[in-house]
Amino acid sequence: MRQTASEYVALVQQKMEALINECNAFETGPIFAELRVQLADLRKDNIYGKAASKYVMHSQYVEHLVNKGPVEVKTAGIFRAGLFKRVEGRHFVLADDTTSIDSPAQGDAMGFEYKVEGSPLSRGVPTTIHVYHTPPGSTSDPRTPIANYEAISYVGMNNAFFWSFETEEDRKPGNWSIEMAIKLKKAEDVPLSWHFEITP
């Protein structure tokens, strides 16, 4: 029996939800946004709001949904953290849920995976990341981060940040802190932070 548009949309959404916990948001976030556009077209929903009169190309609608459409962020939390091993390219898997590591190997990483709860699914939210390092024995907090990043966090999906040990500077002994802020235009920033130690 032929499926109706609503039945097809429900099936696709079910499969999308099953993939959310398996996929890295940085690679699949834009793809999920693309699916949202296609599903909305099937249902004849106006998910673009006033933007519908601005854009004429499909890719512009997708860009709008990812970066400019309405967004609601309820909470954000870390669900997996520790020492990660590189599997391939930018893919890492958790090797040890520790906050302390002794002489990390080149190519490994310390970091965390986190999820931003809210709506709509796959909406990108600007995120700032600062990395701080305090040498062993120091009692003062560092005032200047040693690294700054501008990133995107995808709502409802698995996001991650990994501090990869590529050089000697990346794995200096001491206390390390990763401070993240999920930026919202009409609400306070949502902070996330994680700390780890590298021992000589």
Strands (E), the chain: 72-88, 91-96, 100-102, 109-119, 124-134, 147-154, 158-164, 174-182, 190-199
User: Kind and range of the H or E element at 199?
Assistant: strand 190-199
Cα(155)–Cα(144) distance, integer angstroms: 29
Cα(91)–Cα(105) distance, integer angstroms: 16
Stated pTM of the model: 0.78
Domains observed in the chain: 5-67 (no CATH), 72-199 (2.60.40.2550)
- Residue 10, C-beta contacts closer than 8 angstroms, at least 6 positions apart: none
List pLDDT tens digits, range 29-60.
767 777 766 666 655 554 545 555 555 565 66
List pLDDT tens digits, range 108-162.
999 999 999 998 888 889 999 999 999 988 877 777 899 999 999 989 888 999 9
Structure tokens at 97: 């849920």
Higher per-residue confidence, 47 vs 6? 6
Higher per-residue confidence, 14 vs 116? 116
